[in-house]
Structure 1
Amino acid sequence: MPRDAAELVELLDLETIDDDLFRGAQMPTSRSMVFGGQVAAQSLVAASRTVADPYTAHSLHSYFLQPGDPTVPTIYDVENLRDGRSFATRRVIAQQHGRPIYAQTVNFHLAEPGLEHAEPMPDVPGPDDASVRPISRRLQEELHADQWNVAEIRIVDTSAGAPGDARHPARQRVWMRVATPLPDDQFWHRAAFTYLSDMTLVGAAMVPHGISLGRGDAFAASLDHAVWFHRPFRADEWWLYDQVSPSASSGRGLVLARVFTQAGALVASVAQETVLRPRQDRS
């Protein structure tokens, strides 16, 4: 998996096979399946390659259909659903072995002036504060999470053991960024953010139940994933991933997240639902 921004760009820079048809490469990984953030980001790149430059992606909505095979390339088939004066829409089907593994719809928008408001960033320690701890290399190895190598991730806090937090019994906040500088083009920052946006989310839903993927007492798999881009930002500069899980039931957990720059600007929102099951027999 990518170890720095240059390798991440290489992974996401798709080969054009034909009109609206692209091939995504793989990198060596210890994972038994393709990382969800990778197929989401490659799909966004494929869709973006089929629209004119003035349009930028403002939202994507997607479903994970089958586990991806990390030993073979992924084919991305893009369908043009709309080319309007202000908005354009594309649908992407990612395929391996002749079957779909992921479906994404992306909407693009021409920038225009409009009304402005945004929620403020919560009051949290900065990424360099002594109370903020980095994700351990041991945890990454236990999770086979070598996709995290390209990112710096520092945990701010969770709602575990926090008295009086009735509004958010399942909450997790982390600082994240791509570990090395990306190209200046916002295209790559949206793609890189989409790659990273699939990291750590499910942890917020596990907090009140005392379960952990690292200990092997839980099973989780992403079902769907949505991103809204509100304002331009750099994915290689620190951003706060403020995650809450409003509900877990019927073997599923929902996580909603707000994304803030270190300066406090609300730049993106993310939603994901996952299969979430405690393992009754760890053997």
Structure 2
Amino acid sequence: MTETHVRELVDLLEVERLEDNLFRGQSRDIGTHFVFGGQVLGQALSAAQRTVDPAREAHSLHAYFLRAGDINAPIVYSVERARDGGTFSARRVVAIQHGQPILNGSISFQVPETGFEHQSSMPEVPMPEDISPMQALPPEQLAKLPEKLQRWLGVDAPFEFRHVWPQDKLHPVKRPPYQHIWFRLTAPVGDSADLHRSLLAYASDFNLIGTATLPHGISYYTHNVQMASLDHALWFHRPFRVDEWLLYSFDSPTAQSARGLARGQIFTRDGRLVASTAQEGLIRLRG
């Protein structure tokens, strides 16, 4: 089933062209009740990439989540060709569902060139082979949980995650606002750099805003907590493959006014910094 799930994800991110600058993507229920934000990010990037000279590579993405997406309906992506310069191209993308925008995004592309280089060092953490795989909940324990949690925890995922410091998200305890997680696609895909960037955009939404909940002993599963992504930024630095192990290193410098900020750096196993992320999310205590 692993290859099937990966193929389904690749197909999900390969949006259908309706017109020169108009695309349609399907929605997939991964157990989150609403469309997963990473799906919209990945599809928006995929749509924008279809309107740019293949020699130009996406290097930054900035997006605002405006409304929750309906998992039972497709999403239309309208791409505006804002600029094509000598080296850079800019695209604006609006994701539309039921006649309303659910995401506004801007994506910048660049012709690769050489220049000065430096990067942060990868944290010293165990390699993925030295970390036990995540264990699925036993069926009898899963059956005792609310339906929403059953859908989320019971769905097989195309990505494998290995937490350097595992946490029981059903019974979270307070801990410092940082974490390190190895992840990879569970089956190989082709060599298309555009596809790998879209897949990374999809995966970059996992665990990011959850880092801001760590000092407070709560999680997405806490019954009286409302959480939602408000925006998302992603920068691509160097080549990578998502079907090889990548280390996602997170920290959260602040939370206030029912919002939390989280940042991430993504490294290859040999220590190359390949992408950076930032996200602000709603973290609201209800009742």
The yes-or-no answer on 1:175 pairing with 2:176 is: no
Q: Deviations over 1:219-239 (max 9, x none)?
A: 210000010000000011111
Aligned to 1:34: 35
| 1:244 aligns to 2:245 (yes or no) | no
- CA displacement 1:59-105 (0-9 Å, x = unmatched): 00000000111111100000011100110000000001111010110
> 2:226–2:282: 8 Å Cα contact kept in structure 1?
yes
Gaps (5+ residues) in structure 1?
Answer: 163-168
Residue 121 (structure 2) aligns with: 120
User: CA 1:12–1:214 in 2, change beyond 3 Å: closer, same or farther?
Assistant: same
1:195 aligned counterpart, secondary structure: helix
2:160 match? 152
Answer yes or no: is 1:63 the counterpart of 2:64: yes
Specify the alignment match of 2:75 in structure 1. 74
Q: Which residue of 2 aligns with 1:233?
A: 240
Q: 1:148 to 1:120 in 2, by over 3 A?
A: farther
Structure-2 residue corresponding to 1:7: 8
Query: 2:23 maps to which residue?
Result: 22
Provide the residue aligned with 1:134 in structure 2: 134
Post-superposition shift, 1:32? 2.1
Following the alignment from structure 1 to structure 2, what is the Cα–Cα distance between the partners of residues 246 and 121?
19
Given candidates 194, 201, 205, the residue that maps to 1:198 is 205
Deviations 1:119-174 (A, max 9, x none): 110100111114x5526455994472677711101111279777xxxxxx311111
Q: Which runs of 4+ in 1 moved over 6 A?
A: 158-162
In structure 2, runs of 5+ residues without a counterpart are: 168-172
Distance 2:103 2:27 in 1: 16
**Whole-Å separation in 1 of the counterparts to 2:135 and 2:258:** 27
User: What amino acid does structure 2 have at the position aligned with 1:153?
Assistant: F
| Residue of structure 1 aligned with 2:218, choices 204, 207, 211 | 211
**Residues 29 and 146, structure 1, Cα contact 8 Å, conserved in 2:** no
Instruction: Give me the CA root mean square deviation.
Output: 2.2
Give per-residue Cα distances to partners, 1:18-65, cap 9 Å, x unaligned: 110001112355432111000110000000000011001000000000
**Could you say if the C-alpha distance between residues 182 and 73 of structure 1 is closer, same or farther in structure 2, counting changes exceeding 3 Å?**
same
- Aligned pair count reads 272
Q: From the superposition, tell whether residues 216 and 135 of structure 1 become closer, same or farther in structure 2 (CA, over 3 Å).
A: farther
Whether contact under 8 Å (1:61, 1:227) holds in the other structure is yes
Residue 256 (1) aligns with residue 263 (2):
yes
Matched residue of 1:128: which SS? helix
What's the TM-score, normalizing by structure 1? 0.90
TM-score by length of 2: 0.88
Please state how far the C-alpha of 1:203 moved relative to its aligned partner. Answer: 1.9
Q: Sequence identity of aligned pairs in percent?
A: 45
Instruction: Give 1:176's aligned amino acid.
Output: F
| Distance (Å, rounded) in 1 between the aligned partners of 2:72 and 2:227 | 22
Matched residue SS, 2:164:
strand
Shift, 1:191, TM fit: 0.4
Matched residue SS, 2:51: coil
